[in-house]
Chain A
Amino acid sequence: MHWSSWQAFWDMGGYALFVWGSFGVTFLLIALEVWQARASWREEFANLTDAIHIDNSLQETLVQPRSAATLTPVVAAKTRTEQDVQTP
């Protein structure tokens, strides 16, 4: 151990601002990057989950037009239009 006391350690021979400033900013930025990466994983994962749900329910509607009434009006309306077009 190089230091005689914690006081001396924190003081860094009078260079506390420079030494701790460097280490502080380094690890602050690393922490921010880790946080940002995790946040963007959660966001993209949620986006894709939503997209899959929407696509699945759309597909159900197109395959079984009769259940359209139970779906949201937008999807139901879309299905009806497609039916109308197909019916001669």
Chain B
Amino acid sequence: MSKSLSPRWFYYAAPQNFFHLSAQLWPWCAGVAVALGLLGLYLGLLVAPVDAQQGEAYRIIFVHVPASWMSMVIYMAMAFWSIMGLVFNTRLSALMTRALAPTGAMFAFISLFSGALWGKPMWGTWWVWDARLTSELLLFFLYLGYIALTSAIEDSKKGDRAGALIAVVGSVNVPIIYFSVKWWNTLHQGSSITMGQAPSMAQLMLWAMLLMALSFWAYTLAVVFYRVRVMMLRRERQSHWLRAWVSEQSAGGHT
């Protein structure tokens, strides 16, 4: 399998090819994100029944859980690309890591913010220092640390390597967030969905949540593909292929 896959894989690892590929991919991802998001919001806000214990406040779950998942998934993706970058030394991997970070930070913030707004009516407090909340806060700071560090280092190669280190070392925190509700006695409730078990929520609620999660996935792909191209405009500014493309585009009159 790897024999037939690897040439293609490395073909798109070349910035030039990925630049054109991502131009085609991002609009589709954005379209899927909007479509699934609207469907998820419709089901979650308009159709899904009220929760027996939490009343209407439970609807926060439709942004809180998908955002929290994405904040973890994105950090793991950053760790993955960092390892790829350290092992294969491909230029694309550092760009992917950098392009993912702002969106990951955003979702971590949304997770904390919506969590606070959910905690206040349900627990009577905006914040507690329990394992789940604390480790998610640490994740948010890891994102900020990554962004601050990589943007502070002038030499982009050195910045890439320092960032990769934070991404890889910090990824230890992600399983801690995920399993924290099992390992420690937390105020935060247990998982809504556990692998290999029937979900602890009604079908319709589950569907709304999954649609929102898929929408956030598609959104993340769209914005990352888009941002990688923006970064290439800067990083590949000396490349002939990019200059030829830019000249062609500005001659054509659309930017």
- Chain A positions within 8 Å of B, measured between CB atoms, are 1-3, 9, 12-15, 17-19, 21-23, 25-26, 29-30, 33-34, 37, 40-42, 44-49, 51-52
B121 on interface, CB distance cutoff 8 Å: yes
Cα distance, A38 to B236, chains bound together (Å): 19
9 smallest CB-CB distances across A and B, nearest first, come from A13-B56, A22-B114, A44-B233, A15-B57, A18-B117, A12-B56, A26-B63, A22-B60, A13-B55
Q: Contacts of B64 on A, CB cut-off 8 Å? A: 22
Cα distance, A56 to B144, chains bound together (Å): 40
At the interface, is chain A mostly helix, strand, loop or mixed? helix
A25 touches which one: B49, B59, B114, B230 (CB < 8 A)?
A: B114
Q: Contacts of A41 on B, CB cut-off 8 Å? A: 226, 229-230, 233
Min CB–CB distance A53 → chain B (angstroms): 9
Cα distance, A30 to B103, chains bound together (Å): 9
Q: Tally B residues with Cβ within 8 Å of A.
A: 42
In the complex, chain B residues 148-192 whose Cβ is within 8 Å of any chain A Cβ: none
Q: Contacts of B49 on A, CB cut-off 8 Å? A: 2
B118 touches A22 (CB 8 A): yes
Cα distance, A39 to B59, chains bound together (Å): 33
Report the stretch among B7-15, B81-89, B105-113, B133-141 that lies at the interface: B105-113
At the interface, is chain B mostly helix, strand, loop or mixed? helix
A2 touches B47 (CB 8 A): yes
In the complex, chain B residues 37-90 whose Cβ is within 8 Å of any chain A Cβ: 45-50, 55-57, 59-60, 62-64, 67
20 A-B residue pairings within 8 Å (CB atoms): A1-B47, A2-B49, A9-B45, A15-B56, A18-B118, A18-B121, A19-B117, A22-B117, A26-B67, A30-B106, A33-B106, A33-B223, A34-B223, A37-B226, A41-B229, A41-B233, A42-B255, A45-B246, A47-B233, A52-B243
- Chain B positions within 8 Å of A, measured between CB atoms, are 45-50, 55-57, 59-60, 62-64, 67, 102-103, 106, 109-110, 113-114, 117-118, 120-121, 219, 223, 226-227, 229-230, 233-234, 237, 242-243, 246-247, 249-250, 255
Q: Contacts of B63 on A, CB cut-off 8 Å? A: 22-23, 26
Contacts A1-B46, A2-B48 known; A19 to B56 CB distance under 8 Å?
A: yes
B223 touches A3 (CB 8 A): no
